Structure 1
């Protein structure tokens, strides 16, 4: 009898960004090169003069149903103005996230708050700003069908609170995760993004339900950041986390149910941080001080929890790092991890 060998399908190739940079061009040519790049969408200018060079970069992710771009421009404080192209306009929605903390500081009296703008490229629009880093999503109107009906024409601002804040987080998480997304997964990425935008720009119970998985995944990304920032606080718990996320305790518990609950997840993250510190050969801090800095007040309790989680003691982890054979920090977890690949979450949307 001949064994039948099942064919192993090759993994889907990852999508690649298109990168345009003016940095290698002569300074006198940089501004015109950038202006030409943006000419299909906007007429771009610098009223204070184009001299002095314009080193800038545009990174474009072609996702199929939409395009996500990251533009980085000089932090020279010069005002930049633009207007939508009057002839042969693109009938696209344009969602712009600025002041997201990813660019260099711009000379000003105080940092500007994060903002999300949306506008129709088919409508007249004039703008001005000194932004140095801008994340933009371009999507054709037909991507949304009637999902964005009634938001008006021209342009608008999405408040950076509630669902609006989640939309800003989603755009940033999407940018972060796209390098690991396969071409075969792009339809799910498009659908998740479409649902997320519709739910956040024109909220309704039905739209929020459709975008449920994307919303929860975005909340979990934010939760991870908040938890990392509070690992050393012994008073940090579900109440403070729920307040930071703007959700109820019951919703918070449902979110963390696959990870064994909020307290269990925070406890594991503290152990992971301790393992990372002990595996750093440059870190000479005594083990007990590392434990205390991460909210463990009892040395023996910390040691027991550490060994139960990783299968080796804190002192063994430190010794292994010193001799050049660091021990793995793979956690014995049930139900996965909040840092699970974003692409996997997107794949589940259409399962």
Structure 2
């Protein structure tokens, strides 16, 4: 469970022993659904006895230790667009029965063995096949790490090696073991030291042209996203405005945003993500007409249709999604929702 306390960093603890095999599949998927698709063994009851998750959130970062079952994790284009999380993740296999396999869009396959840290970019597709055992996952704000590096690097699928990487693993183990008693101010300091240690692992790689290839288009897409989010209430936000603001031709803008579904989808998804954030935190009734106006939709009906198309449920179902923990009627469903809420709060 999450144990909020104003004098300690937020922490999270989950044990799978209480999950009935007939419900485990759906509950586990719900735990990951905001950011990942969970791939489990073929249909039928599954047992996750002995599975445990322990997490801490500190200084804009989060770390998750898992004792787990055989499963896969994917993050495709639809989830990348809908969650809009802008983090790196560092995964470390600690003790596993076999290597974790990373499969990339270009066909490359990376084997990650115990003790090998790998960096992944959550703005890029992810597919992992994971064996039973234990691992660590660190969620890292992109800007916080990028500003410590000598140049922009393509870190997706980078395996860290050497003495500093070994020190980083021991540091993360200590964070999990001792971090639950941290004061939030100490968590901020710990976050900075963790970032600097990770940057030290990456610094020797900065001279590699394969890693340091130009990132101009990726950075431009992020700047366009920030521009759009500053003008969400403008229903007339247009291609012409974006072209003028960034000195782009129409064809260049369309080519740049085509992987995100096009210009209109890019704008709509940012509007809907911010609207979801507002509704998820609401504990009282919210008038949909006001939400529609605030986020640039011409009517409540248009907003409701777009919201359902994007998330698969209605705005009224999203209201109060980040709810007080005591409001849940089912302990098992509440436990699944707590984890998703915890990660959701990391990037909103």
TM-score, with structure 2 as normaliser: 0.47
Structure with bigger gyration radius: 1
Greater relative contact order, per chain length (Cα 8 Å cut-off, separation 6+): 2
